[in-house]
């Protein structure tokens, strides 16, 4: 059947935008349900505002969200009922309420930012991508993209890069402990780094990255760890067994190398073992080269190390 709203052009712009918004929100609801969140997409703006700006009065929330006070109140009531937000009354003006996230709300938003929001943003950007065109052409493109593949399917089929935060220290340990214990034995150097990632990596100028896969959350990690004199080690890279086969490791390694090129470092190397054949193949694919010198210099850090590779930071991106 013909699409009457599309045929009517700008005359039906409001109705068409409303239809598109309702469709996107319905699919966003599915994504939240798949990730065991009880919130609705309508709660998202207020949650995001409280996370970004901290406690807000109702008046400030109305201004930040650009909606009516009744709309803010509806979202607030829902969040309070779920235990995610709370209100306090001003001591100087009993009519003024301040809204803030509860401890449960703060934890829920942290998980949303880690496991859901990056994938929804990526999926929406993917559907909206294309050459510049009129507004109606852009809407048509998004509608066609939704027809071809839903927002939910897009959000659960790709990867998102997540930066280190203290609440991910446990994931950094668990992901690496899994693969190291499966193939080798956790050595003292492993335990020291995995137990103190902020102190030994972040605080010294390094970085730790994670990959989140739609529907599974955080599945992999790696670090760029300063060693000395501008030398960095790509280390503690692993992907959970439950997520292998999705190319999460390749995505993560490519992003880590992109990050390395923006950092002040003289060299980048890694240490591994011949048993890690699939990993070595991936390193070679993305430009690492076997390096006997690095093996002689740093290989003694691990009993299991019998392979060292270095990355040519000045070479074109693989």
Token couple for 45: 């703006």
**Gyration radius of the chain's alpha carbons:** 24
Residue 57 β-bridge partners: 98
- pLDDT reported for residue 41: 85
Token couple for 133: 């065109």
Q: Does the pLDDT value for residue 318 go beyond 60?
A: no
Query: What SS3 state is found at 133?
Result: coil
Angle 225-173-271 from CA coordinates, rounded to 5°:
40
Angle 222-126-215 from CA coordinates, rounded to 5°:
50
Could you give the percent of the chain with pLDDT greater than 90? 74
For 32-61, the pLDDT digits (tens) are 888 888 888 889 999 999 999 999 999 999
Give domain 158-311's CATH architecture: 3-Layer(aba) Sandwich (3.40)
Average pLDDT in the chain: 92
pLDDT level of residue 232 (50, 70, 90 thresholds): very high
- pLDDT reported for residue 316: 61
- pLDDT reported for residue 70: 94
Q: Does the pLDDT value for residue 268 go beyond 80?
A: yes
In this prediction, residues 184-195 reach a mean pLDDT of 96
- Give burial (CB, 10 Å; 0-12/13-18/19+) of 129: exposed
- pLDDT reported for residue 305: 96
For 62-87, the pLDDT digits (tens) are 999 999 999 999 999 999 999 999 99
* Boundaries of every domain in the chain: 37-148, 158-311
- pLDDT reported for residue 95: 73
Query: Class of 37-148 per CATH?
Result: mainly alpha
For 112-152, the pLDDT digits (tens) are 988 889 999 989 988 888 887 788 999 999 999 999 999 98
Contact 260, 268 (CB under 8 A): yes
- pLDDT reported for residue 315: 66
In this prediction, residues 255-281 reach a mean pLDDT of 95
Q: Does the pLDDT value for residue 211 go beyond 90?
A: yes
Could you give the percent of the chain with pLDDT greater than 70? 98
Contact 309, 272 (CB under 8 A): yes
pLDDT level of residue 317 (50, 70, 90 thresholds): low
- The pTM for the full model equals 0.75
């Amino acid at each position: 059947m013909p699409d009457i709203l599309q045929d009517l052009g700008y005359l039906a712009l409001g109705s068409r935008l409303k239809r598109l918004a309702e469709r996107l929100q319905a699919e966003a609801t599915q994504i939240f349900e798949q990730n065991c969140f009880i919130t609705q997409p309508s709660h998202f703006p207020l949650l995001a505002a409280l996370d970004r700006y901290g406690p807000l009065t109702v008046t400030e929330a109305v201004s930040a969200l650009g909606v009516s006070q009744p709309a803010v109140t509806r979202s607030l009531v829902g969040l309070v009922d779920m235990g995610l937000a709370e209100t306090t009354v001003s001591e100087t003006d009993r009519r003024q309420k301040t809204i803030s996230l509860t401890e449960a709300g703060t934890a829920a938003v942290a998980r949303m930012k880690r496991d859901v929001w990056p994938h929804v943003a990526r999926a929406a950007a993917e559907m909206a991508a294309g050459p510049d065109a009129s507004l109606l052409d852009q809407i048509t493109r998004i509608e066609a993209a939704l027809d071809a593949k839903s927002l939910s399917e897009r959000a659960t089929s790709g990867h998102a890069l997540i930066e280190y935060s203290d609440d991910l220290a446990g994931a950094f340990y668990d992901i690496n402990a899994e693969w190291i214990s499966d193939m080798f034995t956790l050595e003292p150097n492993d335990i020291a780094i995995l137990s103190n990632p902020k102190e030994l990596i972040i605080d010294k100028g390094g970085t730790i990255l994670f990959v989140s896969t739609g529907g599974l959350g955080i599945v992999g990690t790696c670090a760029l760890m300063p060693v000395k004199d501008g030398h960095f080690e790509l280390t503690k890279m692993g992907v959970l067994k439950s997520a292998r086969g999705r190319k999460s490791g390749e995505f993560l390694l490519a992003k880590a190398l992109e990050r390395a090129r923006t950092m002040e470092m003289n060299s980048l190397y890694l240490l591994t073992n011949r048993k890690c054949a699939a990993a070595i193949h991936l390193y070679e694919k993305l430009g690492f080269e076997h390096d006997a010198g690095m093996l002689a210099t740093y290989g003694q850090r691990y009993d299991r190390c019998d392979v060292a590779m270095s990355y040519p930071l000045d070479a074109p991106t693989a």
